[in-house]
Chain A
Amino acid sequence: DGGITQSPKYLFRKEGQNVTLSCEQNLNHDAMYWYRQDPGQGLRLIYYSQIVNDFQKGDIAEGYSVSREKKESFPLTVTSAQKNPTAFYLCASSMAPGTNIQYFGAGTRLSVL
């Protein structure tokens, strides 16, 4: 089945700890995105990547980092600098950069211990 796989489904972070959320896609899409979803706030863009080895900051990049070493993988690290990390994190991909239609993974729910 083609799609986007996010893992883990649930993640807990201790204070001062960095955690990494995994996102893998087998759709052969060039562009990948990370969003944060908080209740009532919709989706806010954290980072996006249009091509391997290149990525751009979104609207709320502070406290997050990403890498894009392979076309199919776009992991997100939530660093200790992100003071309010509790949220639902969604990874998406699209066929080409800036393409209107994005496909989403099932999400990772991050909570702080």
Chain B
Amino acid sequence: QKEVEQDPGPLSVPEGAIVSLNCTYSNSAFQYFMWYRQYSRKGPELLMYTYSSGNKEDGRFTAQVDKSSKYISLFIRDSQPSDSATYLCAMKTGNAGNMLTFGGGTRLMVKP
């Protein structure tokens, strides 16, 4: 079993829809949670960063962490064709020496 699980998709939605992307994880020591967006043939770019449980909002994007369920989500409101990309979740323990652990990514397609 992978340490971080993410549905690979593709997830296809119409423009304007609310998108929900999710990751589950098994390591209860994870404390820092990130979402990266990766366009085709490009490097990932950081989209959202949260610490511990709770919600964080940035424009059309909301990141949600539920540590009790070991489940994180990224919501995209009013989705646009430019949101079409692969979304990678990443997480890390509080130990400064540890590295990021990535999910496999979910491919999102927003159709006009």
Q: Which A residues contact B (CB, under 8 angstroms)?
A: 4, 6, 33, 40-45, 48, 58, 88, 90, 92, 97-98, 100-107, 109
Contacts and interface: CB of A to CB of B under 8 A. Distances in A.
B97 A97 contact: yes
Given A41-B104, A42-B105, A97-B97, A104 B49 contact: no
A98 B105 contact: no
B65 interface: no
Interface stretch (B11-19, B39-47, B52-60, B76-84): B39-47
Query: How many B residues are at the interface, by size bracket?
Result: 20 to 34
A1 B45 CA distance: 16
Given A98-B99, A106-B43, A107-B43, A42 B49 contact: no
A103 B97 CA distance: 18
B108 interface: no
B85 interface: no
Nearest to B101: A42
B42 A106 contact: yes
Given A106-B42, A107-B41, A40 B92 contact: no
User: Interface centre among A45, A98, A100, A101, by most B CB within 10 Å?
Assistant: A100
User: Interface centre among B32, B44, B45, B102, by most A CB within 10 Å?
Assistant: B44
B98 A98 contact: yes
B105 A101 contact: no
